[in-house]
Amino acid sequence: MSKKKLLVATGGGDCPGLNAVIRGIVKRASAETDWEVWGSMEAFNGIMHEPLRLKRLDDAAVAGIHVRGGTIIQTTNKGNPMKYPERQADGSTRETNRIPWLAGRMKELGFEAVVNIGGDGSQAISQALFEAGMPVVGVPKTIDNDLGSTDFTFGFQTAVQTASDAFDRLVTTADSHHRVMIMEVMGRDAGWIALYTAISGGAEVCLIPEIPYDINIVADRIRERYDDGRGFVNIVVAEGAFAKEGSVTAGKGEEGRHAVRLGGVAYTLSQQLRDAGIEADIRETVLGHVQRGGTPVAYDRVLASVFGVQAFEAVLNGNFGTLIVLKENKFTTVPIPEALSEYNYVKPGGDLVKAAKGLGISFGD
Ligand code: F6P
Protein backbone atom coordinates (compact mmCIF):
# COMPACT_ATOMS: atom_id res chain seq x y z
CA MET A 1 0.00 0.00 0.00
CA SER A 2 1.45 3.39 -0.90
CA LYS A 3 1.84 5.76 2.03
CA LYS A 4 0.45 9.23 2.51
CA LYS A 5 3.16 11.86 2.24
CA LEU A 6 3.61 14.83 4.58
CA LEU A 7 5.93 17.69 3.65
CA VAL A 8 7.76 19.67 6.36
CA ALA A 9 9.51 23.01 5.83
CA THR A 10 11.38 25.47 8.06
CA GLY A 11 11.38 29.10 6.89
CA GLY A 12 12.81 32.48 7.92
CA GLY A 13 15.61 32.93 10.46
CA ASP A 14 16.76 29.81 12.28
CA CYS A 15 15.93 29.34 15.94
CA PRO A 16 16.82 26.88 18.72
CA GLY A 17 14.16 24.15 18.80
CA LEU A 18 13.47 23.76 15.06
CA ASN A 19 15.01 20.29 15.07
CA ALA A 20 12.97 19.29 18.12
CA VAL A 21 9.76 20.19 16.22
CA ILE A 22 10.88 18.14 13.20
CA ARG A 23 11.67 15.17 15.46
CA GLY A 24 8.28 15.51 17.22
CA ILE A 25 6.46 15.38 13.88
CA VAL A 26 8.43 12.39 12.62
CA LYS A 27 8.22 10.34 15.83
CA ARG A 28 4.47 10.86 16.10
CA ALA A 29 4.04 10.06 12.41
CA SER A 30 5.92 6.78 12.73
CA ALA A 31 3.27 5.58 15.18
CA GLU A 32 0.92 5.68 12.16
CA THR A 33 1.85 3.04 9.64
CA ASP A 34 0.37 4.79 6.63
CA TRP A 35 2.34 8.08 6.67
CA GLU A 36 5.82 9.09 5.61
CA VAL A 37 7.47 12.45 6.20
CA TRP A 38 9.63 14.46 3.82
CA GLY A 39 11.51 17.72 4.36
CA SER A 40 11.80 20.43 1.71
CA MET A 41 15.30 21.85 1.91
CA GLU A 42 15.66 25.62 2.56
CA ALA A 43 11.97 26.28 3.13
CA PHE A 44 10.07 25.74 -0.14
CA ASN A 45 13.15 26.32 -2.28
CA GLY A 46 13.55 22.52 -2.28
CA ILE A 47 10.48 22.39 -4.52
CA MET A 48 10.65 25.74 -6.31
CA HIS A 49 13.82 24.77 -8.18
CA GLU A 50 14.82 21.73 -10.21
CA PRO A 51 16.44 19.41 -9.31
CA LEU A 52 14.15 18.89 -6.32
CA ARG A 53 15.83 18.92 -2.93
CA LEU A 54 13.73 16.73 -0.66
CA LYS A 55 14.94 14.77 2.36
CA ARG A 56 13.23 11.66 3.70
CA LEU A 57 12.65 12.20 7.40
CA ASP A 58 12.43 8.86 9.18
CA ASP A 59 13.28 7.81 12.73
CA ALA A 60 16.97 7.40 11.87
CA ALA A 61 17.16 10.88 10.29
CA VAL A 62 15.81 12.57 13.43
CA ALA A 63 17.50 10.48 16.13
CA GLY A 64 18.90 12.78 18.82
CA ILE A 65 18.37 16.01 16.87
CA HIS A 66 16.18 17.68 19.55
CA VAL A 67 19.33 18.90 21.31
CA ARG A 68 20.86 20.41 18.16
CA GLY A 69 20.52 24.07 17.11
CA GLY A 70 19.71 25.12 13.51
CA THR A 71 17.55 22.96 11.25
CA ILE A 72 18.51 19.73 9.50
CA ILE A 73 16.38 20.78 6.52
CA GLN A 74 17.92 24.27 6.39
CA THR A 75 16.09 27.52 5.95
CA THR A 76 16.01 30.75 3.98
CA ASN A 77 14.39 34.14 4.07
CA LYS A 78 14.81 34.55 0.33
CA GLY A 79 12.64 33.33 -2.55
CA ASN A 80 9.24 33.99 -0.92
CA PRO A 81 6.81 32.15 -3.28
CA MET A 82 4.26 34.95 -2.79
CA LYS A 83 6.71 37.42 -4.32
CA TYR A 84 9.02 35.17 -6.22
CA PRO A 85 11.82 37.07 -7.95
CA GLU A 86 11.76 36.07 -11.63
CA ARG A 87 14.39 37.16 -14.04
CA GLN A 88 13.01 38.84 -17.18
CA ALA A 89 14.40 38.68 -20.72
CA ASP A 90 15.71 42.26 -20.39
CA GLY A 91 17.74 41.29 -17.28
CA SER A 92 15.38 42.95 -14.80
CA THR A 93 13.62 41.03 -11.99
CA ARG A 94 9.86 40.90 -11.48
CA GLU A 95 8.07 39.59 -8.39
CA THR A 96 5.47 36.93 -9.22
CA ASN A 97 2.95 35.07 -7.06
CA ARG A 98 4.04 31.43 -7.43
CA ILE A 99 1.71 30.12 -4.72
CA PRO A 100 -0.89 28.50 -7.06
CA TRP A 101 1.94 26.82 -8.97
CA LEU A 102 3.61 25.65 -5.74
CA ALA A 103 0.38 24.20 -4.30
CA GLY A 104 -0.21 22.35 -7.60
CA ARG A 105 3.38 21.06 -7.70
CA MET A 106 3.14 19.73 -4.13
CA LYS A 107 0.01 17.81 -5.05
CA GLU A 108 1.61 16.52 -8.25
CA LEU A 109 4.47 15.19 -6.09
CA GLY A 110 1.92 13.34 -3.96
CA PHE A 111 1.99 15.45 -0.79
CA GLU A 112 -1.29 15.28 1.11
CA ALA A 113 -0.40 17.96 3.65
CA VAL A 114 2.29 20.43 4.73
CA VAL A 115 3.60 21.46 8.16
CA ASN A 116 5.29 24.84 7.85
CA ILE A 117 7.47 25.91 10.80
CA GLY A 118 8.23 29.62 10.81
CA GLY A 119 7.48 33.15 11.97
CA ASP A 120 4.97 35.67 10.66
CA GLY A 121 6.38 35.79 7.10
CA SER A 122 6.36 31.98 6.80
CA GLN A 123 2.84 31.76 8.22
CA ALA A 124 1.60 34.27 5.63
CA ILE A 125 2.93 31.76 3.07
CA SER A 126 1.10 28.94 4.94
CA GLN A 127 -2.17 30.87 4.70
CA ALA A 128 -1.68 31.60 0.99
CA LEU A 129 -0.97 27.90 0.30
CA PHE A 130 -4.03 26.92 2.32
CA GLU A 131 -6.19 29.34 0.31
CA ALA A 132 -4.74 27.81 -2.85
CA GLY A 133 -6.10 24.43 -1.75
CA MET A 134 -3.10 22.90 0.05
CA PRO A 135 -3.87 21.46 3.51
CA VAL A 136 -1.39 23.27 5.80
CA VAL A 137 -0.65 23.37 9.52
CA GLY A 138 1.68 26.07 10.89
CA VAL A 139 4.07 25.97 13.86
CA PRO A 140 5.17 29.34 15.29
CA LYS A 141 8.90 29.94 15.66
CA THR A 142 10.96 32.94 16.64
CA ILE A 143 13.39 33.99 19.35
CA ASP A 144 11.58 37.37 19.38
CA ASN A 145 8.43 35.96 21.09
CA ASP A 146 6.42 38.51 19.13
CA LEU A 147 3.45 36.36 18.02
CA GLY A 148 0.31 37.37 19.91
CA SER A 149 -1.53 34.09 19.59
CA THR A 150 0.86 32.01 21.74
CA ASP A 151 2.14 32.46 25.30
CA PHE A 152 5.64 31.65 24.08
CA THR A 153 7.33 30.82 20.82
CA PHE A 154 10.06 28.19 21.09
CA GLY A 155 13.60 29.59 20.91
CA PHE A 156 12.80 32.59 23.08
CA GLN A 157 13.87 31.03 26.40
CA THR A 158 17.13 29.86 24.85
CA ALA A 159 17.87 33.34 23.49
CA VAL A 160 17.18 34.79 26.95
CA GLN A 161 19.48 32.23 28.59
CA THR A 162 22.29 33.03 26.13
CA ALA A 163 21.80 36.77 26.67
CA SER A 164 21.70 36.35 30.47
CA ASP A 165 24.93 34.34 30.45
CA ALA A 166 26.62 37.04 28.38
CA PHE A 167 25.21 39.76 30.63
CA ASP A 168 26.67 38.10 33.77
CA ARG A 169 30.09 38.19 32.15
CA LEU A 170 29.77 41.89 31.38
CA VAL A 171 28.76 42.76 34.95
CA THR A 172 32.15 41.73 36.30
CA THR A 173 34.00 43.97 33.83
CA ALA A 174 31.64 46.86 34.56
CA ASP A 175 32.43 46.43 38.26
CA SER A 176 36.19 45.99 37.89
CA HIS A 177 36.58 49.05 35.62
CA HIS A 178 33.77 51.29 36.92
CA ARG A 179 32.32 51.26 33.45
CA VAL A 180 29.00 51.62 31.76
CA MET A 181 28.49 48.42 29.79
CA ILE A 182 25.80 48.40 27.10
CA MET A 183 24.60 45.05 25.78
CA GLU A 184 22.39 45.02 22.67
CA VAL A 185 20.05 42.08 22.15
CA MET A 186 17.76 41.03 19.29
CA GLY A 187 13.95 41.02 19.23
CA ARG A 188 12.98 43.33 16.33
CA ASP A 189 10.02 45.50 17.38
CA ALA A 190 9.43 43.62 20.63
CA GLY A 191 11.45 44.11 23.82
CA TRP A 192 10.91 40.63 25.31
CA ILE A 193 14.49 39.36 25.15
CA ALA A 194 15.77 42.64 26.63
CA LEU A 195 13.18 42.70 29.41
CA TYR A 196 13.72 39.09 30.51
CA THR A 197 17.50 39.51 30.35
CA ALA A 198 17.42 42.74 32.35
CA ILE A 199 15.35 41.14 35.12
CA SER A 200 17.35 37.92 35.10
CA GLY A 201 20.72 39.70 35.05
CA GLY A 202 19.91 42.58 37.40
CA ALA A 203 20.43 45.46 34.96
CA GLU A 204 20.15 49.08 36.01
CA VAL A 205 18.67 50.18 32.68
CA CYS A 206 16.55 48.35 30.10
CA LEU A 207 15.55 50.08 26.87
CA ILE A 208 12.85 48.55 24.68
CA PRO A 209 10.97 49.63 21.52
CA GLU A 210 7.64 49.79 23.37
CA ILE A 211 8.95 52.57 25.69
CA PRO A 212 10.84 55.26 23.76
CA TYR A 213 13.50 56.55 26.16
CA ASP A 214 14.47 60.00 27.37
CA ILE A 215 18.28 60.07 27.27
CA ASN A 216 18.44 62.54 30.17
CA ILE A 217 16.52 60.14 32.41
CA VAL A 218 18.91 57.33 31.44
CA ALA A 219 21.88 59.62 32.14
CA ASP A 220 20.43 60.54 35.56
CA ARG A 221 20.10 56.85 36.48
CA ILE A 222 23.75 56.35 35.56
CA ARG A 223 24.87 59.36 37.64
CA GLU A 224 22.90 58.03 40.64
CA ARG A 225 24.90 54.81 40.52
CA TYR A 226 28.20 56.68 40.44
CA ASP A 227 27.04 59.13 43.14
CA ASP A 228 26.02 56.37 45.55
CA GLY A 229 29.48 54.87 45.33
CA ARG A 230 28.71 51.77 43.30
CA GLY A 231 30.29 53.25 40.24
CA PHE A 232 29.25 50.89 37.46
CA VAL A 233 26.18 50.38 35.31
CA ASN A 234 24.87 47.58 33.13
CA ILE A 235 22.39 48.41 30.39
CA VAL A 236 20.40 46.04 28.18
CA VAL A 237 19.10 47.64 25.00
CA ALA A 238 16.79 45.95 22.51
CA GLU A 239 17.89 46.34 18.87
CA GLY A 240 14.58 48.10 18.07
CA ALA A 241 14.76 50.64 20.93
CA PHE A 242 14.90 54.35 20.14
CA ALA A 243 14.97 57.72 21.91
CA LYS A 244 11.78 59.76 22.28
CA GLU A 245 13.01 62.31 19.77
CA GLY A 246 14.86 59.77 17.64
CA SER A 247 14.36 56.77 15.37
CA VAL A 248 15.55 53.16 15.20
CA THR A 249 19.17 52.40 14.34
CA ALA A 250 19.01 50.37 11.16
CA GLY A 251 20.58 49.59 7.85
CA LYS A 252 18.89 48.72 4.58
CA GLY A 253 16.96 45.44 4.43
CA GLU A 254 17.74 42.59 2.08
CA GLU A 255 15.77 40.90 -0.65
CA GLY A 256 12.91 38.88 0.82
CA ARG A 257 13.50 40.30 4.27
CA HIS A 258 12.21 43.10 6.45
CA ALA A 259 12.44 46.61 5.01
CA VAL A 260 15.13 47.49 7.56
CA ARG A 261 17.89 45.49 9.17
CA LEU A 262 18.11 46.42 12.83
CA GLY A 263 21.39 46.59 14.73
CA GLY A 264 23.85 49.05 16.19
CA VAL A 265 21.65 50.89 18.71
CA ALA A 266 24.30 50.15 21.37
CA TYR A 267 26.64 52.56 19.57
CA THR A 268 23.91 55.17 19.06
CA LEU A 269 23.10 55.03 22.77
CA SER A 270 26.75 55.24 23.74
CA GLN A 271 27.13 58.48 21.75
CA GLN A 272 23.87 59.89 23.12
CA LEU A 273 25.13 59.26 26.68
CA ARG A 274 28.41 61.03 26.00
CA ASP A 275 26.45 63.94 24.48
CA ALA A 276 24.32 63.99 27.65
CA GLY A 277 27.47 64.49 29.73
CA ILE A 278 28.33 60.96 30.93
CA GLU A 279 32.09 60.92 31.46
CA ALA A 280 32.54 57.31 32.59
CA ASP A 281 34.03 54.84 30.13
CA ILE A 282 31.32 53.22 28.04
CA ARG A 283 31.69 49.94 26.18
CA GLU A 284 29.25 48.33 23.76
CA THR A 285 28.55 44.65 23.04
CA VAL A 286 26.24 43.65 20.21
CA LEU A 287 25.28 40.06 20.95
CA GLY A 288 23.86 39.26 17.50
CA HIS A 289 23.32 35.77 16.16
CA VAL A 290 24.76 33.86 19.13
CA GLN A 291 21.21 34.33 20.46
CA ARG A 292 19.87 32.20 17.61
CA GLY A 293 22.32 29.32 17.87
CA GLY A 294 23.25 26.43 20.09
CA THR A 295 21.44 23.80 22.08
CA PRO A 296 17.88 24.73 23.00
CA VAL A 297 17.25 24.96 26.75
CA ALA A 298 14.94 22.31 28.24
CA TYR A 299 11.86 24.58 28.15
CA ASP A 300 12.24 25.15 24.40
CA ARG A 301 12.90 21.46 23.73
CA VAL A 302 9.69 20.54 25.51
CA LEU A 303 7.63 23.28 23.82
CA ALA A 304 9.04 22.46 20.38
CA SER A 305 8.61 18.69 20.82
CA VAL A 306 4.98 19.07 21.89
CA PHE A 307 4.33 21.50 18.99
CA GLY A 308 5.74 18.84 16.63
CA VAL A 309 3.52 16.05 17.96
CA GLN A 310 0.47 18.31 17.94
CA ALA A 311 1.18 19.50 14.41
CA PHE A 312 1.08 15.92 13.15
CA GLU A 313 -2.11 15.27 15.12
CA ALA A 314 -3.69 18.37 13.52
CA VAL A 315 -2.82 16.81 10.15
CA LEU A 316 -4.43 13.48 11.20
CA ASN A 317 -7.55 15.33 12.39
CA GLY A 318 -7.78 17.43 9.23
CA ASN A 319 -7.41 20.61 11.30
CA PHE A 320 -5.87 22.66 8.48
CA GLY A 321 -5.29 26.39 8.05
CA THR A 322 -4.35 26.56 11.72
CA LEU A 323 -1.34 27.34 13.86
CA ILE A 324 -0.35 25.23 16.88
CA VAL A 325 -0.09 27.47 19.95
CA LEU A 326 0.25 27.48 23.71
CA LYS A 327 -2.52 29.72 25.00
CA GLU A 328 -2.96 30.30 28.72
CA ASN A 329 -0.79 27.25 29.29
CA LYS A 330 -2.95 24.98 27.09
CA PHE A 331 -1.92 23.57 23.74
CA THR A 332 -4.49 24.41 21.10
CA THR A 333 -4.86 25.69 17.52
CA VAL A 334 -5.93 29.05 16.10
CA PRO A 335 -6.79 29.98 12.49
CA ILE A 336 -3.63 31.38 10.87
CA PRO A 337 -5.14 34.79 9.95
CA GLU A 338 -6.15 35.29 13.58
CA ALA A 339 -2.64 34.37 14.73
CA LEU A 340 -1.10 36.82 12.26
CA SER A 341 -3.33 39.69 13.31
CA GLU A 342 -1.95 39.87 16.85
CA TYR A 343 1.58 41.18 17.42
CA ASN A 344 2.91 40.48 20.90
CA TYR A 345 4.36 43.72 22.28
CA VAL A 346 5.64 44.20 25.82
CA LYS A 347 2.93 46.12 27.67
CA PRO A 348 4.49 49.27 29.18
CA GLY A 349 1.95 49.13 32.05
CA GLY A 350 2.06 45.32 32.40
CA ASP A 351 3.13 43.24 35.41
CA LEU A 352 6.62 42.46 34.12
CA VAL A 353 7.56 46.08 33.44
CA LYS A 354 6.10 47.11 36.81
CA ALA A 355 8.09 44.39 38.56
CA ALA A 356 11.25 45.41 36.70
CA LYS A 357 10.73 48.99 37.86
CA GLY A 358 10.21 47.62 41.37
CA LEU A 359 13.66 46.06 41.06
CA GLY A 360 15.15 49.47 40.29
CA ILE A 361 15.42 49.01 36.52
CA SER A 362 14.99 52.26 34.59
CA PHE A 363 13.29 52.24 31.18
CA GLY A 364 14.25 55.85 30.56
CA ASP A 365 10.64 56.98 30.91
O1 F6P B 1 13.46 37.46 13.90
C2 F6P B 1 14.61 36.89 14.45
C3 F6P B 1 15.79 37.82 14.30
O4 F6P B 1 16.91 37.19 14.87
C5 F6P B 1 15.58 39.22 14.85
O6 F6P B 1 15.68 39.26 16.25
C7 F6P B 1 16.65 39.97 14.11
O8 F6P B 1 16.34 41.35 13.95
C9 F6P B 1 16.64 39.32 12.74
O10 F6P B 1 16.06 38.04 12.92
C11 F6P B 1 18.01 39.15 12.14
O12 F6P B 1 17.84 38.62 10.87
P13 F6P B 1 19.04 38.13 9.95
O14 F6P B 1 19.47 36.77 10.45
O15 F6P B 1 18.42 38.07 8.62
O16 F6P B 1 20.14 39.13 10.07
Contact 177, 327 (CB under 8 A): no
Q: What pTM was computed for the model?
A: 0.96
Atom of ligand 1 nearest to the CA of 262: 8
Closest to 143 in 3D by CA, of 183, 102, 187, 103: 187
- Alpha carbon of 13 to ligand 1 centroid (Å): 6
Q: Is the fold of 4-154+296-327 the same as that of 157-292+347-358?
A: yes
At residue 235, the pLDDT reads 98
Q: What average pLDDT score do residues 157-165 get?
A: 98
Strand partners, 38: 7, 56
At residue 47, the pLDDT reads 96
> pLDDT tens digits for 339-359?
999 899 999 999 999 999 999
Whether 144 is catalytic is yes
Residue type, 321: G
Q: Which of 14, 144, 189, 300 is catalytic?
A: 144
At residue 329, the pLDDT reads 96
Q: What average pLDDT score do residues 281-300 get?
A: 97
Q: What average pLDDT score do residues 307-316 get?
A: 98
Spatial separation of the C-alpha atoms in residues 58 and 6, rounded to whole Å: 12
Read off the pLDDT band of 254 (50, 70, 90).
Answer: low
Atom of ligand 1 nearest to the CA of 143: 2
CATH number of 4-154+296-327: 3.40.50.450
Is pLDDT of 52 > 80? yes
Calculate the CA 273 to chain-centre distance: 30
CATH classification number, 157-292+347-358, choose in 3.40.50.300, 3.40.50.1820, 3.40.50.460, 3.30.1330.120: 3.40.50.460
At residue 260, the pLDDT reads 83
At residue 255, the pLDDT reads 57
Beta strands in the chain (DSSP E): 4-10, 35-40, 54-57, 84-87, 93-96, 111-118, 136-140, 180-185, 205-207, 233-238, 250-252, 260-262, 282-286, 322-327, 330-335
Residue nearest to atom 13 of ligand 1 (CA): 13
At residue 86, the pLDDT reads 85
User: Cβ atoms within 10 A of the Cβ of 202, count?
Assistant: 14
Contact 44, 101 (CB under 8 A): no
- Alpha carbon of 257 to ligand 1 centroid (Å): 9
- Alpha carbon of 254 to ligand 1 centroid (Å): 11
Contact 75, 26 (CB under 8 A): no
Among 71, 117, 143, say which to mutate for ligand 1: greatest number of ligand atoms within 8 Å of CB: 143
Read off the pLDDT band of 23 (50, 70, 90).
Answer: very high
- Alpha carbon of 3 to ligand 1 centroid (Å): 38
Q: What average pLDDT score do residues 198-212 get?
A: 98
At residue 278, the pLDDT reads 98
- Alpha carbon of 191 to ligand 1 centroid (Å): 14
Atom of ligand 1 nearest to the CA of 239: 8
Domain chopping of the chain, boundaries: 4-154+296-327, 157-292+347-358
- Where does ligand 1 bind, in terms of residues with CB under 6 Å? 13, 77, 142-144, 186-188, 239, 257, 262, 292
Residue nearest to atom 15 of ligand 1 (CA): 13
Atom of ligand 1 nearest to the CA of 193: 6
Among 146, 162, 188, 189, say which to mutate for ligand 1: greatest number of ligand atoms within 8 Å of CB: 188
At residue 358, the pLDDT reads 98
Q: What average pLDDT score do residues 146-172 get?
A: 97
